[in-house]
């Protein structure tokens, strides 16, 4: 995950932090970010802009342990970097959990079988990892929304057509009205 | 029990108000401004009226896994609040109740409230339609429920006073034409209408003028999308108050801060900018003659000889987490219970007061809610703006009330968050995560596929929220059982609750109407009602399944009427049995119609304030009046 801990990454060119460009500081947790890009469908810029890379990286390690993360990364590597082709159910459940975390800020309950396979000694409960994790959830951005209670778009903005919708409502029942 | 002289509040007060929620705060404001010395006793804590305390509540909300109405507000063992999370549905129907309430009815009472300064109005939606004139006489006109001893015309001036106190934004002309509500000629609300949502506009475009039928052979009902009045800062209307205009109230706890609604889309459970009215704003304008004591749980009302009350006994605690308390008493000429319908009833029952009619605690009502939800054929911009900005008002009254409960249809701006827990549940479903961790998980989709799928569907979500009038029924009730007490030793409420055939027939009609609305909209109906852990309100009626929710609109428990024989309070919300004891709030309402009840509660409280002022003048005589006038700022 963190480059220093050197698990295989699905996309070494993108995911190392060896600082090969002398003009550029090494990126933190480059491997975790590269994996997260694959899992979420959001690019590195979006993910880093949340400010939560480190917290999510640490939460994942904390929740499932380094060996399981290592196996997950190896499985993802073996799947050609495509999470959809991971066949190991434990690794797949870790992929679900990390994605859930990014989209909602919530570490989810793992499948009971995963929980048992990992011999976790903590309770298998869902939790919001921090207040900011909620407000930075990616799910809101999938439809140009914002998290309720944060990032308000301004008075009356709810009256405007969302992106992709006709500015004036389109008739369904009758034609040519208004 | 009494603490003796050491525990007695040294200063004598004119009025004690129990509860610093909406009704209590408005009354204290009114009486304090008239020169009376008011002691407000609040069972909960007072952390919300500082800005850091308020921001802490916002953070607590962000960090809550279940973003339910009480999520931002810290639990308090000394003054427990019920939570909607206390109910659990059983796999084959039925429910189990945990938490503060004990429940033994066929169906669960599914609403919460909040015991803290500001009360439940900290997490109300802020929707303030008036009641319809016919709602005051349902027994006389339609043969069900109970009638008010007063009518719309008696309350109309107080509606205007309440709309001023809460700072209402709305369009009176549209309310008149679209909802059939009478207003004085030329009346405008303090603020211009809150803009309606894009979703409202889509629905209006497809529904306005269309007709639906509750039965194939029934009459046509014509649909019209009508904007809803809000207690929410918008744009002041310069025409208000004969051209004097309106100055909106800013946030409590942070000087010179306050905004129009900026679309946080979290009115329930917390408005981050306090554009929505909350009672802290009223408290900020209290005269110095009003004293608020928090962490003061009133344990009983104290009686004098002659049927009068002399004050209250209360339990003062320091730490809400470890409730050790000292017992104190406070005395006043008039005691006002304003602690919520269920808490008011509980206090009257514990104190063995106002019981001659046998109606204390009975007639418990709510607005049972039926939700329907679906996907529009285009993006509609859900999860934006206030929770609802328009409704369909055509089913609120009319002859059909004789056979089924009337209903108001709120257009839900927040997708399926209420009916289905969106968007969290959508993310989990697409990832293959089942709520039951024992079940094998789906494969799940990731990456762009996940992102695109959510973007396509979440943006098309909408819901309809049907609020039903629930008539007064004496079998629905609050009682107490001395063997079940809270940590301070106060008996917890025991609730017995059910829905009548009248209400269930209303729900059946609503479902039929909803089906036709979805067809008119060309929307994909995704409504489903099945028993399960998240559906404690599941029931079957006439071969169809339903799941109802609570609206947080508890009422009826100290019902108002025309005689001491049949009701608990008179038209002034004064207990028939005790001339100086008032019980105010939704508990006084003999019927709630289909209107969100807070505005009517506020109007009633202000009306009672006038009566209390007269009572005090009669009790204290002209000398006191002179002193008060001298004391006015």
Find, in chain B, the residue whose alpha carbon is nearest to that of A91: B443
CA distances from A8 to A56, A71, A75, A95, B279 (A): 19, 9, 10, 15, 57
SS3 content of chain B, % helix, strand, coil (to 5): 30, 20, 50
Q: Quick check: A146 and B383 CB within 8 A?
A: yes
Q: Any CB–CB contact under 8 A between A166 and chain B?
A: yes
Q: Which residues pair with B100 in a beta bridge?
A: none
Q: Which helix (H) or strand (E) holds B628?
A: helix B598-631
What residues have CB less than 8 Å from A18, skipping those under 6 apart? A3, A26
**Which of B198, B270, B454 lies at the smallest CB-CB distance from A139?**
B454
B366: nearest Cα among B79, B103, B94: B103
Distance CA B530, CA A33 (A): 41
Cis ω for the linkage preceding B554 (within 30 of 0): no
Q: Which tokens go with B523?
A: 């929307």
pLDDT-derived band at A26 (thresholds 50, 70, 90) equals low
Domain regions of chain A by residue span = 27-148
List pLDDT tens digits, range B390-442.
Answer: 999 999 999 999 999 999 999 999 999 999 999 999 999 999 999 999 999 99
**Band of the pLDDT at A18, cuts 50, 70, 90?**
very low
Q: Residue B83: which of B115, B55, B53 has the closest Cα?
A: B115
Q: In whole angstroms, what is the distance from residue B577 CA to residue B599 CA? A: 27
- The chain-wide mean pLDDT, for chain A, equals 87
| Chain A / chain B CB contacts < 8 angstroms | 210
Residues 6+ apart with CB under 8 A from B555: B341, B364, B365, B366, B585, B586, B587, B588, B589, B592, B597
Q: Which chain B residue's Cα is nearest to A154?
A: B262
Express each pLDDT in B113-150 by its tens digit: 999 999 999 999 999 999 999 999 999 999 999 999 99
Peptide bond into B423 cis (omega under 30): yes
CA B216 – CA A40 distance, rounded (Å): 49
Termini Cα distance of chain B: 40
- Would you tell me which residues 86-125 of chain A have a C-beta closer than 8 angstroms to some C-beta of chain B? 89, 92-93, 95-96, 99-100, 103-104, 106, 108-112, 115, 124
Q: What is the pLDDT of residue A9?
A: 43
Backbone angles phi, psi at B392, to 5 degrees: -110, 120
Please report the DSSP string for A30-99 in residue order: HHHHHHHHHHHS--HHHHHHTT-HHHHHHHHHHHH-HHHHHHHHHHHHHTTT-GGG---HHHHHHHHHHH
Q: Tens digit of pLDDT for each residue in B152-198?
A: 999 999 999 999 999 999 999 999 999 999 999 999 999 999 999 99
A135: nearest CA in chain B? Answer: B62
- Predicted confidence at residue B629, as pLDDT, reads 42
Residues 6+ apart with CB under 8 A from B43: B19, B78, B79, B115, B295, B296, B297, B298, B339, B343
Contact B260, A155 (CB under 8 A): yes
pLDDT for the residue B7: 52
Q: Which of B273, B353, B277 is nearest to B312 (CA)?
A: B353
Q: Please give the average per-residue pLDDT across A69-94, as a whole number.
A: 97
List the structure tokens of A101: 């975390």
Locate tokens 């509750």: which residue? Answer: B214
Mutation pick from B57, B61, B65, B449 vs chain A, by most beta carbons of A within 10 Å, is B65
The upper half-sphere exposure of residue B40, i.e. CA atoms within 13 Å in the direction of its Cβ, equals: 35
Question: Tokens 């491997």 appear where?
Answer: A31
**Are A100 and B377 a contacting pair at CB < 8 A?**
no
Please write the tens of the pLDDT for every residue from B550-609: 999 999 999 999 999 999 999 999 999 999 999 999 999 999 999 999 999 999 999 999
Residue in chain B lying closest to A124 (CA): B437
Contacts of B206 in chain A (CB under 8 A): 169, 171-173
- With 0-12 / 13-18 / 19 or more C-beta atoms within 10 angstroms meaning exposed / middle / buried, residue B2 is exposed
What average pLDDT does range B305-316 have in this prediction?
A: 95
DSSP character at residue B570: -
What is the structure's pLDDT at B259? 81
Residue pLDDT, tens place only, B515-531: 999 999 999 999 999 99
Q: Collect all residues with Cβ–Cβ distance below 8 Å to B263 and sequence separation of at least 6.
A: A152, A153, A154, A155, A156, A157, A158, B384, B385, B386
Residues from chain A that touch B414, judged by Cβ atoms under 8 A, are: 148
Q: Give the residue from chain B lying closest to A88, CA to CA.
A: B443
Verify whether the Cβ–Cβ distance B383 to A140 is below 8 Å: yes
- How many residues are given for chain B? 633
Angle among Cα A23, A25, A31 to the nearest 5 degrees reads: 125
- Between CA B422 and CA B416 the distance in angstroms is 5
How high is the pLDDT of residue A28?
A: 86
Q: Which residues of A touch B260 (CB under 8 A)?
A: 155
H helices present in B216-275, as ranges: 240-243
Distance CA B428, CA B77 (A): 33
Supply the pLDDT for residue B628: 45
What is the ipTM, given to two decimal places? 0.94
Are B437 and A109 inside 8 Å of each other by CB? yes
| pLDDT for the residue B542 | 96
DSSP type of residue B189? -
Q: What is the pLDDT of residues A135-171, one digit of tens each?
A: 999 999 999 999 999 999 999 999 999 999 999 887 6
Those residues with Cβ within 8 angstroms of residue B249's Cβ, 6 or more apart along the chain or in another chain: B167, B233, B258, B277, B281, B284, B285
pLDDT of residue B4: 37
Q: Cβ of B451 and A142 within 8 Å?
A: yes
Helix (H, G, I), strand (E, B) or coil at B465: strand
Query: What pLDDT, on the 0 to 100 scale, is given for residue B257?
Result: 87
What's the mean per-residue pLDDT of chain B? 95
Nearest CB partner across the interface for A148, out of B202, B265, B438? B265
Which of A 26-85 lie inside 8 A of B, CB atoms?
A: 38-42, 83-84
Interstrand relation of B211-213 and B220-222 (parallel, antiparallel or unpaired): antiparallel
Strand, coil or helix: what is B299? strand
Name the one residue in this structure whose structure tokens are 């629930």: B470
pLDDT band at A2 (very low <50, low <70, confident <90, very high): very low
CA B479 vs CA B95, B297, B365, B567, B577: distances in Å: 19, 19, 14, 17, 19
Contact across the interface for B446 and A173, Cβ inside 8 Å: no
Q: How many helices (H) and strands (E) does chain B have?
A: 14, 22
| Among the listed residues B159, B235, B158, B139, the one whose alpha carbon sits nearest the alpha carbon of residue B194 | B235
Longest dimension (CA), chain B: 81
């Amino acid at each position: 995950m963190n480059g220093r801990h050197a698990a295989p990454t699905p996309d070494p060119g993108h995911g190392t932090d060896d600082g090969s460009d002398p003009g550029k500081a090494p990126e933190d947790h480059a491997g975790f970010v590269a994996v997260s890009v694959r899992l979420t469908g959001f690019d590195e810029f979006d993910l880093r802009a949340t400010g939560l890379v480190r917290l999510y990286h640490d939460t994942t390690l904390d929740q499932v342990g380094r060996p399981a993360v290592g196996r997950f990364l190896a499985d993802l590597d073996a799947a050609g970097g495509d999470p959809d082709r991971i066949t190991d159910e434990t690794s797949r459940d870790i992929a679900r959990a990390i994605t859930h975390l990014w989209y909602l800020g919530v570490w989810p309950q793992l499948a009971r079988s995963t929980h048992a396979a990992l011999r976790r000694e903590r309770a298998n409960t869902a939790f919001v990892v921090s207040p900011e994790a909620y407000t930075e959830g990616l799910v809101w951005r999938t439809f140009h929304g914002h998290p309720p209670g944060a990032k308000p778009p301004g008075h009356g903005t709810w009256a405007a057509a969302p992106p992709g919708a006709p500015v004036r409502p389109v008739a369904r029942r009758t034609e040519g009205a208004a | 029990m009494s603490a003796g002289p050491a525990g007695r509040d040294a200063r004598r007060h004119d009025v004690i108000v129990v509860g610093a929620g909406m009704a209590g705060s408005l009354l204290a404001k009114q009486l304090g401004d008239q020169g009376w010395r008011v002691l407000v006793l609040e069972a909960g804590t007072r952390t919300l009226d500082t800005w850091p305390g308020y921001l802490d509540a916002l953070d607590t909300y962000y960090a809550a896994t279940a973003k339910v109405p009480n999520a931002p507000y810290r639990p308090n063992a000394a003054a427990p609040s019920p939570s909607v999370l206390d109910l659990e549905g059983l796999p084959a129907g039925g429910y189990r109740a945990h938490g503060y309430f004990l429940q033994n009815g066929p169906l669960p009472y599914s609403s919460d409230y909040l015991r803290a300064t500001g009360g439940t109005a900290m997490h109300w939606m802020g929707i303030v339609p008036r009641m319809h004139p016919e709602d005051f006489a349902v027994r006389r006109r339609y043969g069900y429920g109970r009638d008010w001893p007063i009518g719309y015309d008696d309350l109309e001036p107080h509606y205007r006073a309440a709309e001023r106190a809460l700072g209402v934004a709305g369009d009176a002309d549209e309310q008149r034409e679209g909802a059939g509500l009478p207003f004085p000629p030329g009346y405008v609300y303090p603020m211009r209408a809150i803009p309606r949502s894009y979703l409202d506009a889509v629905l209006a475009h497809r529904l306005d003028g269309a007709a639906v039928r509750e039965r194939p052979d029934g009459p046509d009902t014509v649909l019209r999308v009508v904007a809803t009045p809000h207690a929410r800062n918008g744009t002041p209307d310069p025409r208000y108050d004969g051209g004097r205009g309106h100055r909106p109230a800013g946030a409590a706890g942070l000087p010179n801060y306050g905004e129009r609604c900026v679309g946080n889309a979290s009115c329930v459970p917390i408005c981050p900018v306090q554009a929505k009215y909350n009672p802290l704003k009223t408290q900020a304008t209290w005269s110095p003659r009003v004293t608020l004591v928090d962490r003061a749980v009133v344990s009983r009302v104290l009686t004098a000889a002659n049927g009068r009350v002399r004050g209250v006994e209360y339990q003062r605690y320091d730490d809400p987490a470890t409730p050790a308390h000292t017992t104190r008493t406070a005395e006043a000429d008039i005691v006002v219970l304003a602690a919520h319908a269920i808490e008011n009833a509980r206090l009257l029952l514990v104190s063995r007061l106002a019981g001659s009619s046998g109606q204390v605690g009975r007639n418990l009502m709510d607005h049972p809610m039926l939700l329907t939800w679906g996907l529009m054929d285009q993006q509609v911009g859900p999860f934006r703006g206030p929770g609802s900005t328009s409704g369909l008002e055509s089913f609120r009254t009319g002859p059909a009330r004789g056979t089924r409960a009337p209903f108001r249809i709120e257009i839900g701006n927040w997708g399926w968050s209420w009916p289905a827990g969106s968007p969290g549940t959508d993310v989990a479903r697409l990832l293959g995560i089942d709520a039951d961790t024992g079940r094998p998980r789906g494969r799940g989709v990731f990456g762009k596929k996940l992102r695109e799928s959510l973007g396509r569907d979440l943006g098309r979500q909408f819901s309809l929220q049907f609020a039903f009038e629930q008539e007064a029924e004496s079998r629905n009730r609050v009682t107490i059982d001395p063997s079940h007490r809270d940590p301070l030793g106060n008996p917890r409420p025991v609730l017995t609750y059910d829905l009548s055939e009248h209400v269930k027939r209303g729900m059946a009609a609503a479902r039929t109407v909803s089906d036709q609305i979805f067809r008119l909209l060309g929307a994909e109906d995704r409504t489903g009602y099945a028993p399960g852990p998240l559906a404690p309100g599941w029931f079957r009626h006439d071969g169809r399944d339903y799941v109802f929710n609570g609206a947080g609109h508890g009422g009826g428990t100290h019902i108002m009427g025309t005689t001491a024989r049949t009701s608990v309070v008179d038209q002034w919300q004064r207990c028939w049995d005790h001339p100086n004891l008032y019980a105010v709030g939704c508990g006084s309402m003999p019927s709630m119609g289909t209107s969100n009840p807070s505005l009517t509660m506020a109007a009633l409280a202000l009306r009672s304030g006038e009566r209390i002022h007269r009572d005090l003048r009669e009790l204290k005589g002209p000398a006191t009046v002179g002193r008060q006038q001298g004391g006015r700022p």
